[in-house]
Chains A and B, each alone.
Chain A
């Protein structure tokens, strides 16, 4: 997956978890939790979806790297670059 495809995938997961949110003008540099109504349980839902959909494992010590869209894409790029988008 390219960085753009990884971003699309994260948006798709966020739309499932926070269906009421308008994600169109999400600021990629700012933290998700400063913009969206996402709590810790929602965060674990995102991590579980990444595992279910793409078998991507995110260990607890790496959670801070998933704070914003930009940092999430940068973190996931090496783990997802060889995955072919459906």
Chain B
């Protein structure tokens, strides 16, 4: 089975039909959680992310979206309470939400807007040496987009393994960064992280462009690279 990556635009202010549908699928706790966000854009992203995940998981499990139950691992990654051999992950950024659905192996997804404000100093301080070298070899005008390619890939990996930023970002690197399927390696390849999460060759990543201004990276662990299917999420 391949990886499905669904995407939808969340409203930046007043929610529309998508937000209304997604809100109905949430649990009472999630609806209360959504109210904690003070900005409509953040609230809508949460509602759409959780709603989409519930709807997509419910279709796979042949149940109602409200019947889906989540548990959260140590660093906050949501999983299904009932082990059903389905791993999933949710990402959002200003205006766009993405949900990746896989099989029983870990999957992580990240989305970024290519026009977001960035500080290239983050690369210097946190990325691995080969990634910093690669970034600096690019023309200055292209460096922000290259930075975001590397960032989304790195985020998708740490979200797949569920460690958050406690996994040092300089302990793994992506190569073949000008392709749509960059390859992960561990730096160095005999590190504690490599022993814990390797072998690197079993991790497969792909970069996707759901819209001109957005970039999605998805990473999963498989024996062979799975097909990755990008599709828009809509409500009837």
**Docked complex Cα distance between A21 and B40 (Å):** 11
Q: Which 3 A-B pairs have the closest CB atoms?
A: A37-B42, A60-B168, A63-B165
Which of A20, A25, A36, A43 contacts B165, CB < 8 Å?
Answer: A43
Partner of A48, one of B39, B121, B166: B121
Chain A residue at minimal CB-CB distance from B116: A41
Within 8 A of A (CB), among B24-42: 33, 36-39, 41-42
Query: Considering the complex, which residues of chain A in the window 40-79 have a beta carbon less than 8 Å from any beta carbon of chain B?
Result: 40-41, 43-45, 48, 60-61, 63-64
Return the chain B residue nearest A33 by Cβ: B76
Give B contacts to A, CB under 8 Å. Answer: 33, 36-39, 41-42, 75, 93-94, 116, 118-119, 121-122, 125-126, 151, 155, 164-168
Residues B42 and A36 in contact, CB atoms below 8 Å apart: yes
Q: Could you mark each residue 2-41 of chain A with 1 if its beta carbon is under 8 Å from any beta carbon of chain B, else 0?
A: 0000000000000000001110010000100011110111
6 other contacts beyond A21-B38, A37-B41, with CB at 8 A cut-off? A34-B33, A40-B155, A41-B151, A48-B121, A60-B168, A64-B75
- Contacting residue for A41 out of B37, B38, B118, CB 8 A: B118
Contacts known (A22-B38, A39-B93, A41-B118); A61 close to B166, Cβ less than 8 A: yes
Number of interface residues of A (CB under 8 A): 20
Per a CB cutoff under 8 Å, which of A34, A37, A60, A64 touches B36? A34
Q: Can you report 29 A-B residue pairs in the complex whose CB atoms are below 8 A from each other?
A: A20-B39, A21-B38, A21-B39, A22-B38, A25-B38, A30-B36, A34-B37, A35-B36, A35-B38, A37-B37, A37-B41, A37-B42, A39-B93, A40-B164, A40-B165, A41-B118, A41-B122, A41-B151, A43-B165, A44-B122, A44-B165, A45-B119, A48-B121, A60-B166, A60-B168, A61-B166, A63-B166, A64-B75, A64-B166
